């Protein structure tokens, strides 16, 4: 059985929609099971347009649980080359029973590690999940979301 995700998350490697306001309030999924979320392979079926992987195809996200952290590896094909972005995710300190996560991905300038909040909006643990990311820029007074 294939597992699919509408990857607003995977697109978080660079899929930005910029708006001139703060990030919208979203509701994280409740009764979230981090260990069930953080293992296996998920295949990308949709995502917002983005700059980093806009011509890519065949996206797949593999998770491996290691204690309270999940290691991730997003692979995709771009211009006939297999590419990968690696990172980690963990429950946010204030997550409680919700799907509020902190992700760290190596996709900044020169592969710099970038940390951000990540919201799991819905998940069934076997077939699909939808994640959401948004970051407010205090200097520019706008936000980027995916």
Beta-bridge mates of residue 118: 101
Neighbours of 101 (CB within 10 A): 25
Q: What is the pLDDT of residue 19?
A: 57
Q: Domain 4-145: give its CATH superfamily.
A: Calycin beta-barrel core domain (2.40.128.20)
Residue 48 vs residue 95, higher pLDDT:
95
pLDDT confidence tier of residue 141, bands split at 50, 70 and 90: low
55 backbone φψ class: left, alpha, beta (φ>0; ψ -120 to 50): alpha
pTM for the full model?
0.75
Where are the chain's structural domains?
4-145
Residues 99 and 90: beta-carbon distance below 8 Å: no
Report d(CA 10, CA 47) in Å as an integer. 8
- Indicate whether 70 pLDDT > 80: yes
- Indicate whether 146 pLDDT > 50: no
Selection from 1, 4, 2 nearest residue 130 by Cα:
4
């Amino acid at each position: 059985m294939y597992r699919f995700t509408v990857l607003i998350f995977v697109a978080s490697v660079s899929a930005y929609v910029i708006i001139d306001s703060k990030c919208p309030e979203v509701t994280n999924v409740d009764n979230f099971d981090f260990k069930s979320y953080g293992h296996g392979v998920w295949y990308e079926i949709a995502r917002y347009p983005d700059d980093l992987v806009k011509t890519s195809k065949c996206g797949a996200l593999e998770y491996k649980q290691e204690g309270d952290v999940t290691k991730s590896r997003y692979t995709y094909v771009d211009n006939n080359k297999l590419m990968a972005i690696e990172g980690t995710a963990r429950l946010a300190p204030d997550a409680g029973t919700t799907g509020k996560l902190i992700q760290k991905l190596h996709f900044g300038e020169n592969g710099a590690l970038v940390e951000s909040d990540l919201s799991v909006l819905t998940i069934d643990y076997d077939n699909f999940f939808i994640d959401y990311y948004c970051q407010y820029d205090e200097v520019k007074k706008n936000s980027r979301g995916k």
